[in-house]
Structure 1
């Protein structure tokens, strides 16, 4: 079984089914006046996104942010990939969330309750 029963919680866009993830990356936002730079942990989805303007239509990859931190989230991409692989092997079903506390980024899994009661 794959990852169709695992959902990833995004920072602001709801849930994304894990089997739609094509990439995982951490990148830094630019510092703006009065606003410091931040690090984002993003997933790239296996679907294109388009937007148009007077000059034409532009297609790019669809990204969703999972977490935002002040410091570099070292190994977060690898840890997310490892967590997804472990959940796939267990044939789990539920929601995986990126949790940031005190500059530490970790992943917590909340299984669906399948009690028939």
Structure 2
């Protein structure tokens, strides 16, 4: 079994099937007037996204944010990859979400109810 039964929650409340994830990265947003810079944990999906202007059409990678923190989320990308690999090997099915509390970022897995009745 692969990752088709693992769903990953985005920061905005959407769900993405884990087998669609092809990349994980952390990056900092720019500081804007009245708003401090924030760190984002993003996933890249296996589908391109397009947008157009009067000058033409642009294709780029599709990113979704899983978490936003005030401090650098050290090792978060690696921890997500390890967690997904462990869940894949276990044959798990459920929902994975990034949880931020008090400057820390961790991953929480909520298995689906296996009772088919």
TM range (shorter): over 0.9
Offset from partner CA, 1:3-36 (integer Å, 9 cap, x none) = 0000000001500000000100000000000000
- How many residues align? The count is 117
> What value does the CA root-mean-square deviation take over the aligned residues?
0.7
Distance in 2 (alpha carbons) for counterparts of 1:44 and 1:13: 17
TM-score (norm 2): 0.98
Q: Offset of 1:114 from its aligned partner?
A: 1.6
> For residues 3-18 of structure 1, what are the structure 2 equivalents within 5 Å?
3-12=3-12, 14-18=14-18
Distance in 1 (alpha carbons) for counterparts of 2:13 and 2:109: 18
Q: Which residue of 2 aligns with 1:46?
A: 46
Distance in 1 (alpha carbons) for counterparts of 2:75 and 2:84: 14
What are structure 1's unaligned runs of at least 5 residues? none
Deviating runs (4+, > 2 A) in structure 1? none
What are structure 2's unaligned runs of at least 5 residues? none
Q: Which residue of 1 aligns with 2:34?
A: 34
The answer to whether residue 99 in structure 2 is matched with residue 99 in structure 1 is yes
